[in-house]
Each structure stands twice: as structure tokens, then as C-alpha cells.
Amino acid sequence: MSGQPLNRLRQSAREMFDAALRAVDAEELTRRAIQSPEGRVRVVETELRHSRAIYVLSIGKAAASMSLALDESIGDRIAGGLVTCPAPCESLPSKWRQFASGHPLPNSESLTKKLTPKKQS
């Protein structure tokens, strides 16, 4: 096989890989799932009551990015949030409490810190 067809195969494989990653981007999928028409909040097909405060629990390795997308989409409606993830998200406002955790299994930090929030700068 000459170099040119091999390069095209590599380029095609890379394009497919990049498309697959974009298709499962948790932050973007969260943004697409949240709508707020006319002051209402809709998550996929479920509409939340307008008068109630929204509290969020976000768990896992994509928790920070999903929480960031929620805050950017409907942050004015979110009263508070709890995020447990491997790495802190410095962009989240202080109403989001963040906790260290291992993923997919608890690590020593998960087990020893219990519910001690990470310090945000």
C-alpha cells in the first residue's frame, strides 16, 4: 500500500474518532437537553415548576462539565449544587459545593474526605 492511501485512511480514522468524541461530549449534551423558553425550565421532555428552586446533584467524571453547562444555561434558577468528581472545576460559582472522589471506584480521597468540600479559590 502506498503512502497516500494510508494517509487518507489515517485521516478518515481520525475524523471518525473526533466525531465520536464530539457525539458523547457531556457538557454539550447537557446544554442541548436543557431549554428555558419563556422563563420555564425543560429538561429533555420534563418541565420543572417555575416557582420552585432547583438543587442539583452531579456525580462522576463528567459531573463538573455537566454542572458548568447547567449553570451557563439556567444558573439564575439554580439555588445550589453538589458536585462530586475527580478534579475541581474552578469556573463553577460558589453555590456549587465540590467534593473529591475517585471514578469509577472510590479512592483513598473519596473514602477519607467524606463530605468535606474542596476549597475553591
The answer as to whether 121 is a domain residue is no
Residue 120 falls within a domain, yes or no?
no
pLDDT of residue 117: 53
- 3 state DSSP class of 27: helix
* Residue 118 counted as domain residue: no
For residue 39, what are the β-bridge partners?
none
pLDDT in tens, 25-83: 888 989 888 888 777 788 888 887 767 788 999 988 889 999 999 999 888 889 999 99
Domain count, the chain: 1
- For residue 53, the enclosing domain spans 3-113
pLDDT of residue 41: 85
Instruction: Show Cβ contacts of residue 61 under 8 Å, excluding neighbours closer than 6 positions.
Output: 85, 86, 103, 104
100 φ, ψ to 5°?
A: -75, 145
Whole-number Å distance between alpha carbons of 17 and 30: 21
Q: Is the pLDDT of residue 121 over 50?
A: no
- CATH number of the domain to which 7 belongs: 3.40.50.10180
Answer whether residue 19 is part of any domain.
Answer: yes
Q: For residue 30, what is its C-alpha cell?
A: 447537557
119 in any annotated domain? no
Tens digits of per-residue pLDDT, 84-118? Answer: 888 778 888 989 998 878 767 777 766 665 555 55
